[in-house]
Amino acid sequence: MDHFLYRNGILHAEDVAVPDIAAAVGTPFYVYSAATLTRHYHLFTEALSPLPHMVCFAIKSLSNVAVLKLLGDLGAGMDVVSGGEYRRARAAGVPGERIVFSGVGKTREEMRLALTGGIRQFNVESEPELRALSEVAVSLGFVAPITVRVNPDVDARTHEKIATGKKENKFGIPIARASEVYAEAASLPGIEVIGIDVHIGSQLTELEPFEQAYLKVADLTRRLRSEGHDIRRLDLGGGLGIPYTRSNEAPPLPTDYGALIKRTVGDLGCEVEIEPGRLISGNAGLLVAGVIYVKNGEGRDFLILDAAMNDLVRPSMYGAHHDIVPVVEAPAASPTHAYDVVGPVCETGDTFAKGRDLPLVAEGDLVAFRSAGAYGAVMASEYNTRPLVPEVLVKGDHFAVIRERPSFDEILNRDTIPAWL
Ligand code: LLP
């Protein structure tokens, strides 16, 4: 459920008419709904209660500081994967004890940043990282709280580029080697073992792979405890999928996911952490674009938008589907037409959809991509020197630009010409 509905035939973001934002900001832009973000966060906290838990928003999915402040103020923790994301979480006012640091390539500098700024735990992904973290912690006079991310060799049955839990993926340590790695961790002076971490992939549309992974984590918890480790926190990762179409797609609900967590690891007496990104942010955002031209091609018509693959890369990168809707609703039973929906970037990959049935649209009309809140703005670039797409947050009848569109001067001034040229 989201808060982007038609009212009197005009698409609204909560109580704000989308054309009003377009008039103020220009197109293209992302718009997020505070009510949707809030609701989705609460779905998870409700699903996990009464287990002791923390919902750590995977800020890679949507990392604008205003959004992080909104979620942080609700009590959310944050899952970060870089020093930059750590800084964002802190800039949003989230205390270090609510920030978990994931990722396969944490640098020593990033470790120092998080140790000195405060951290809930590092999710360590390899033995070299464990040793480096211990060294850095000792040099600063800290002990780093850690989980080890285990790779359970489970098929998440999702897009190959976002599956992470198979043994051929770069993530985590093989679960079969966990005893060895935990023994080393426990022997290192700068490390305190507190738990286990697992994350098997993103946009999972079935619960069964989670179940397989969490049962393996439950077994591992018992084994590691018997080997003397005080396992008291389980980070179960993110990955719960969302519906990208309004048709019959029905991924499992957070309540079902919560019930599964309780069933698989609920009796271990551990604090549970999850790291959802997409389910919180995905359906909380639209990308709004204007139609530049409708071009009649040979056997197909192109809808050329002012948004492009640099603004929303998911269709060209993963073949992802996003529903596209007109901002001014077509009257019921009005004719539709099949369009190839494309952007202005100079490559054929800059295609959002092929043969997509849409109500008739004309130059100057506005269209909206649904489910664009997650992995949308964060993956945008300035390819073709197209300014980074702005972001807008709506709450009730308020809206504000939370990231401005840069001017061309700002963009050009970032480049410098060496004196010797
Ligand atoms: N935790 C870890 C360690 C992760 O790697 C990820 C996502 C998450 C949590 C959050 O997963 P979510 O709940 O959002 O599924 N750009 C791709 C998705 C990449 C996901 C990367 N890791 C896309 O647009 O589909």
- pLDDT tops 90 at residue 250: no
What DSSP string runs through 61-111?
A: S---HHHHHHHHHTT-EEEE-SHHHHHHHHHTT--GGGEEE--TT--HHHH
Q: Is 346 a catalytic residue?
A: yes
Instruction: Evaluate whether 4-31+282-412 and 34-280 have a shared fold.
Output: no
What is the residue whose two structure tokens read 């529903």?
323
Q: Which residue has the tokens 């704000």?
A: 16
Least trusted range by pLDDT, from 66-75, 158-167, 200-209:
158-167
Q: 8-22, 111-125, 166-180, 310-324 — which is least confidently predicted?
A: 166-180
Cβ–ligand 1 distance for 123 under 6 Å, the answer no
Instruction: Please give the structure tokens belonging to residue 9.
Output: 């035939």
As a whole number of Å, the CA-based R_g of the chain is 23
Task: Catalytic residue, from 250, 332, 333, 346: name it.
Answer: 346
Which of 54, 60, 158 is the pocket-test mutation for ligand 1 (most atoms within 8 Å of CB)? Answer: 60
For position 248, what pLDDT does the model report? 62
| Number of Cβ within a 10 Å radius of residue 199 | 26
Three-state DSSP state, 198: coil
Given a cut of 90, whether residue 74 has pLDDT beyond it is yes
387 lines ligand 1 (CB under 6 A): no
What percentage of the chain carries pLDDT values higher than 90? 93
pLDDT tens for each residue of 9-26: 999 999 999 999 999 999
Q: Residue 218's pLDDT band (boundaries 50, 70, 90)?
A: very high
Write the pLDDT tens digit of every residue in 56-66.
999 999 999 99
From the alpha carbon of 275, which atom of ligand 1 is closest? 9
CA end-to-end span of the chain: 56
Say how many Å lie between the CA of residue 120 and the centre of ligand 1: 20
pLDDT score recorded for residue 160: 86
d(C-alpha 56, C-alpha 420), whole Å? 49
Q: For residue 36, what pLDDT is reported? A: 98
Which residue type is seen at 246?
Answer: R
pLDDT at 1 over 70: no
Superfamily of domain 4-31+282-412: Lyase, Ornithine Decarboxylase; Chain A, domain 1 (2.40.37.10)
Q: Which CATH number fits domain 34-280: 3.40.47.10, 3.20.20.10, 3.30.1300.10, 3.40.50.300?
A: 3.20.20.10
Domain regions of the chain by residue span: 4-31+282-412, 34-280
CA of 203 to the centre of ligand 1 (A): 8
Which of these ranges, 168-177, 343-352, 398-407, has the smallest mean pLDDT?
168-177
In angstroms, what is the span from residue 277 Cα to ligand 1's centroid?
A: 6
Phi, psi of 93 (to 5 degrees): 90, 10
Please determine, for residue 420, whether its predicted confidence score (pLDDT) is greater than 70.
yes
